[in-house]
């Protein structure tokens, strides 16, 4: 996202990988929802929607989903907090991480 510096983006992505973990198979998250990769919640629009838990997911697909989810979290943060560009890096990083996990519930 253009409102985040490259180093902020790198730090957020690295922290999300630590927080979310990485699994190259479909698994159930802590809420029992089907997930894969780096915390990607499977939606009805995803090609993996009808696949069973334990089904392997290609690394390219995992990377693509992570980038899309990260971009969505950054956009959500900016939409909710338009002045976030002026925040200290640590605050930006925490808020995007929270948006990644909470989505629209961040409000």
* Domains contained in the chain, CATH given: 6-106 (1.10.530.40)
Task: Single out the residue of 63, 64, 93, 100 nearest to residue 3, CA to CA.
Answer: 93
List Cα–Cα distances, 95 to 40, 75, 98, in angstroms.
Answer: 18, 11, 5
Model pLDDT for residues 32-50, shown as the tens digit of each residue: 999 999 999 999 999 999 9
Instruction: Enter the tokens of residue 3.
Output: 């409102």
pLDDT confidence tier of residue 2, bands split at 50, 70 and 90: confident
Whether pLDDT at 104 is above 80: no
Nearest-Å Rg of the Cα atoms of the chain is 14
d(CA 104, CA 65): 18
Plot region of 43 (φ>0 → left; ψ -120 to 50 → alpha; else → beta): beta
């Amino acid at each position: 996202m253009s409102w985040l510096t490259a180093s902020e983006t790198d730090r957020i992505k690295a922290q999300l990988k630590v927080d979310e973990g990485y699994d190259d198979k479909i698994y159930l998250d802590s809420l029992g929802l089907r997930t894969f990769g780096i915390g990607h919640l499977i939606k009805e629009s995803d090609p993996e929607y009808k696949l069973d838990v334990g089904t392997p997911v290609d690394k390219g697909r995992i990377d693509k989903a992570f980038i899309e989810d990260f971009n969505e979290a950054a956009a959500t943060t900016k939409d909710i907090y338009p002045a976030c560009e002026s925040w200290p890096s640590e605050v930006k990083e925490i808020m995007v991480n929270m948006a990644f996990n909470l989505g629209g519930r961040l409000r």
